[in-house]
Structure 1
Amino acid sequence: MEWNKGACKSLHSASLPLSPLRLTSVSGESESRLDFTAWLPGDQKAGSFSLYVQPPSACLFEVEIAEPFRGHGLGFAMVRQLQDLTPAIGISTLTLQVSGDNLPALRLYKKTGFHITETLSYYLY
């Protein structure tokens, strides 16, 4: 799946409610990897994700919302905050791979402006 900042005009931050999430990031195992954590007020870890960055694109992977917080829109808030951060890290395109069986993830990514670019019977990595 792919999201492109220039092609996604339908999502505007101004129309989104204020998110309770705060993102923090650290460098990952390599220079091109960034690991993010999403925190709720009170420093409760709500979720995390990683990026493999090769400007002007990045691959989103290891996306997770902690079990007790699923189904409350935090995945949406987390992905939207990432999308809002993309210019600051030199990214205009996000790509990801998701299993066709993972319907909650597919709904989330479609809702946040991702579109299917290719269907595979295996993961590339």
Structure 2
Amino acid sequence: MTDDVGATGNAAPRETGERLARAVAGAAAEVAGVAFLRPRLSDLLRGSAAAARLRRGPAADRGPAGVRVRRDPDTARWLVDVQFTVRRGHRAVDVARAVRAAAERAAGGLPVEITVTVAGIG
């Protein structure tokens, strides 16, 4: 990826978190064996009245589907949760390891704790 997330300079934590989420999502989506990143409920309900309510406020800018990022206030580490579906014919454990490695590279040196969840096989 060309987006160097680790070079934050004076960027606000929120902006850094948003860049981190986009970088991790892009890196994870490019891993062989990833069918798609798991969409949030608001992504699935797009266009409905319920989706409009879910998109208001701070939940509206949570970042790309399949990736949740938040900052641990005690350790200042970024907690990154990646959820995806594995393509049929690929070993879930191998794809999960590759997604974790890609996410770590995408973090660009930021202190991160990455959780990878295989949400399905498709």
Q: TM-score range by the shorter chain?
A: 0.3 to 0.5
Q: Which has the larger radius of gyration?
A: 2
TM-score (norm 2): 0.36
TM-score (norm 1): 0.36
Instruction: Name the structure, 1 or 2, with higher relative contact order (CA <8 Å, separation 6+).
Output: 2
Q: From the two aligned structures, give the one with the greater strand fraction.
A: 1
